[in-house]
């Protein structure tokens, strides 16, 4: 199975500052159709995961534009331009380019 490695595992932040989370794959995530199926999820305490980003950089409906995704091949990044209090959560990357779909281990965004 494809292994996704996120870093850091814990990210202390100050409100209003930027934050970036890395997701590295054990193999290229470009699918044979040319697309790259990398998603990012947010999970707040006590809640289910919520998809923020699909296909590397496409924000899902209702997701604030301070969230952005980038990357290609094996290296991907989720960036929050200005962290707000409601962004305190655990973030997961997920790949759907290779069977079975796999998730990163999660990055906990926490208040500094």
Contact region with other proteins (CB under 8 A), list: 10-18, 28-36, 62-70, 86-94: 86-94
Rounded CA-CA distance 23/71 in Å is 9
Instruction: Please list the residues that pair with 72 across neighbouring strands.
Output: 75
Q: Which is nearer to other proteins, 16 or 100 (CB)?
A: 100
What are residue 81's phi and psi, to 5 degrees?
A: -70, -40
Tell me which residue of 13, 26, 60, 10 sits closest to 40, measured CA to CA: 60
Are 60 and 51 in contact by the 8 Å Cβ rule? The answer is yes
Each residue 34-73 as x (binds other proteins by CB under 8 A) or -, in order, gives: -----x-x------xxxx--x-----x-------------
Closest CB to other proteins among residues 31, 81: 31
Residue 7 as a binder of other proteins (CB under 8 A): the answer is: no
Stretch that binds other proteins, among 21-29, 67-75, 81-89, 99-107 (CB under 8 A): 99-107
Residues that bind other proteins (CB under 8 A): 39, 41, 48-51, 54, 60, 90, 92, 94, 96, 99-103, 105-106
């Amino acid at each position: 199975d494809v292994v996704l490695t996120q870093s850091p595992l814990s990210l202390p932040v100050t409100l209003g500052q930027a934050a970036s989370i890395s997701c590295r794959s054990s193999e290229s995530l470009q699918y044979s159709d040319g697309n790259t199926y990398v998603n990012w999820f947010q999970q707040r305490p006590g809640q289910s995961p919520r998809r923020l980003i699909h296909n590397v950089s496409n924000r899902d409906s209702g997701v604030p534009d301070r969230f952005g995704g980038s990357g290609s091949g094996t290296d991907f990044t989720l960036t929050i331009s200005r962290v707000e209090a409601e962004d305190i959560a655990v973030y997961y990357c997920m790949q759907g380019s290779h069977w079975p779909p796999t998730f990163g281990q999660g990055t906990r965004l926490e208040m500094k």
